Amino acid sequence: MYEYLKSLHLIFVITWFAGLFYIVRLFVYQIEAHDKPSPEKEILQKQYKLMAYRLWYIITWPSAILASFFAYWMLFFTPLGQSWLQMPWMHVKLGFVFLLYLYHLKCHQIFKQLQNDVVKHSTNFMRLWNEGATIILFAVVFLVILKNEINWIYGVIGIILFSVLIMLGFKFYKRIRTKNGE
């Protein structure tokens, strides 16, 4: 039973992250459309709102709920899951899952604003915001795969260095976009 639960959990974690990655991309497109002239603006906004709505409520939210449901079932109703709750790496992983939920809820707030034509963030902010889920994904995958073998100091340094690399990549990409007149 445990392996089935684990498989279902993993499937929904993957679709949850896919939804989070793509929704922020749609936020970028929605913000860009906001600055277009009519009628292009209205046509694009209508289409992006529909795409975002479907992605958010048909894929992303259900995936988050189902991933959490199967994780809860594994952790509290299987012997292996209960033993994992005693391990320090699982506490750290659950901390990152908590951060993922905060990220998800902030995305929900931005989603609602954009659905109501309220633009509070720039496209550059959204591109950078999109990396938040990437950092959480890397942290969780390394924690789950390495478990007790991970050296916490090297892990923290690695995540910080990875974050710095993402920021440098973002700045480089921004320069290229500015140079090309985008």
Please tell me the distance from the alpha carbon of residue 23 to that of residue 27, in angstroms, as a whole number: 6
Specify whether the CB–CB gap between 118 and 177 falls below 8 A. Answer: no
Q: Residues comprising the binding site? A: 9, 93
Q: Residues comprising the binding site for heme? A: 9, 93
* 3-state secondary structure at position 15: helix
Q: Token digits for 26?
A: 């749609």
- Could you tell me where the beta strands, DSSP code E, fall in 42-150? none
